[in-house]
Structure 1
Amino acid sequence: MLKKAWASLLAVIFILTIAPLNPSANEAFLDALEEDLKATHYDYKEGTAEIIKQETLTSSNGNEIIAAVVELDTIRDGIFITRKTEFHYFDATENKILETADLAEVEGATEFSDANIDLLGQKVVYWLPVLIMLLLIAIPALILFFVVPRFYSTTEYMNPIYEKNDNPR
Structure 2
Amino acid sequence: MLKKAWASLLALIFILTIAPLNTSANEAFLDALEEDLKATHYDYKEGTAEIVKQETLRHSNGNEVIAAVVELDTVRDGIFITRKTEFHYYDATDNKILATADLVEVEGATEFSDANIDMLGQKVVYWLPVLILLLLIAVPVVILFVVVPRFYSTTEYMNPIYEKNDNPR
Global fold match (TM > 0.5): yes
Return the offset for 1:31. Answer: 0.8
Q: What amino acid is aligned across from residue 144 of structure 1 in structure 2?
A: L
How much does 1:32 deviate? 0.8
Q: In structure 1, what residue type is equivalent to 2:3?
A: L
What is the CA deviation profile of residues 120-145 of structure 1, one whole-angstrom value per residue up to 9, with x for unaligned ones? 11111111111111111111111111
- Residue-by-residue CA offset, 1:59-100 (whole Å, 9 max, x unaligned): 111111110000000000001111100000011111111111
Paired with 1:124 and 1:64, the residues of 2 have a C-alpha distance of 35
Give, in whole Å, the separation in 1 of the partners of 2:164 and 2:92: 94
1:11 is aligned to: 12
Name the counterpart of 1:36. 36
Q: Separation in 1 of the partners of 2:119 and 2:43?
A: 22
Query: C-alpha distance in 1, partners of 2:17/2:126?
Result: 38
Paired with 1:133 and 1:144, the residues of 2 have a C-alpha distance of 17
* Closer/same/farther in 2, CA of residues 147 and 130 from structure 1, 3 Å limit: same
- Number of residue equivalences: 168
1:17, distance to aligned residue in structure 2 (A): 10
Q: Within 5 Å, which residues of 2 pair with 1:138-157?
A: 138-157=138-157
Question: Alpha carbons of 1:68 and 1:17: their partners in 2 closer, same or farther (altered >3 Å)?
Answer: farther
Query: Secondary structure of the residue that 2:52 maps to in structure 1?
Result: strand
SS in 1 for 2:167: coil
In structure 1, the partner of 2:84 is: 84
Give the letter aligned to residue 3 of structure 1: K
| CA shift for structure 1 position 160 | 1.0
Q: Secondary structure at the match of 2:51?
A: strand
SS at match of 2:36: helix
Cα distance in 1 for partners of 2:100, 2:4 equals 51
Paired AA for residue 110 in structure 1: T
Q: For 2:41 and 2:167, locate their aligned partners in 1 and report how far apart those are by CA, in whole Å.
A: 75
For 1:17 and 1:79, how far apart are their aligned partners in 2? 43
RMSD of aligned Cα (Å): 1.7
Taking structure 1 as the reference length, what is the TM-score of the superposition?
0.92
SS of corresponding position for 1:19: helix
Identity of aligned residues (%): 84
Greater shift after overlay, 137-146 or 2-11?
2-11
Q: Match of 1:67?
A: 67
Is the aligned partner of 1:132 residue 2:147?
no
Letter of the 1:28 counterpart: A
